[in-house]
Amino acid sequence: MNLNHAREWIAKSQNIVGFTGAGISTESGIPDFRSPNGVWARNRMIEFDEFVSSRAGRIEYWRQKVESWPAMRDAKPNPGHLAFVELERRGKLRAMITQNIDGLHQRAGQSPELVIELHGTTAEAACLSCRGRIPIDDAIRRIEAGDPAPECEKCGGLLKPATISFGQAMPEREMARAAEVSRACEVFLAVGSSLVVQPAALLPAIAKRAGARLIIVNRTATPLDDMADLVLCDEIGRVLPALV
């Protein structure tokens, strides 16, 4: 199998599901988490239980967020993101599942209703008690003004970036929808993901077992390569436009 086969599958399909991980965003200059130079190589991971139970943990978590936010805020979509937008324009893309928290799919022009953010969004902060949300910039302004672990101004609950931390429950509605569209698709296009983080990594297998073609585009090998119909180890910004 080669690139031409994948082009043919995509050309003939009217039900494609996209799935993206950190690899598509690193090409926009956003550091990933797990690489030797990634976020967790430079910072201590604050898991959800520590965030909830420890003010010191919350202060460190927010310090890391303030440090990383400018790069994420200022990042621009790359040709990989735009390729998925083109699939939507042609009426082929039924859902855009992402493990990323940067909002680059929406900034590229993807319809928000198609995007399923499995790990949340860093553009907002959410109260863990009343579920109210504010723009992340508002929370960061409070931190920079001297409040290192801001709380909800409505109910006094803990404010946390609206992302999913280790130890925090996955969003049920998003996971259910992602599983549903994966079972129904004709082509599942997994891009820039190591496919090791569960339960998100189950989705390509769900699609394949339901009869979809599975295409994996990633710079390194993944545990699902043997299951895939085609694996392309290359730069996403070059391969995806060629596929579309």
Per-position DSSP letters for the chain, written without gaps between them: --HHHHHHHHHH-S-EEEEE-HHHHHTTT---SSSTTSHHHHS----HHHHHH-HHHHHHHHHHHHHHHHHHHH----HHHHHHHHHHHTT-EEEEEE---S-HHHHHT--GGGEEETTEEEEEEEETTT--EEEHHHHHHHHHTT-SS-B-TTT-PBEEEEEPPTTSPPPHHHHHHHHHHHHH-SEEEEES--S-STTTTHHHHHHHHTT-EEEEE-SS--TTGGG-SEEE-S-HHHHHHHH-
> Domain residue spans in the chain?
1-30+77-119+170-244, 31-74+121-163
Does residue 162 carry a pLDDT above 60? yes
5, 81, 105, 119: which one is catalytic? 119
The question of whether 119 is a catalytic residue gets the answer yes
pLDDT in tens, 188-241: 999 999 999 888 889 999 999 999 999 999 999 999 999 999 999 989 999 999
The model's pLDDT over 73-109, given as tens digits with 9 standing for 90+, comes to 999 999 999 999 999 999 999 999 999 999 999 999 9
The reported pLDDT for the residue numbered 198 is: 86
Q: Which fold has domain 31-74+121-163?
A: SIR2/SIRT2 'Small Domain' (3.30.1600)
CATH superfamily of domain region 1-30+77-119+170-244: TPP-binding domain (3.40.50.1220)
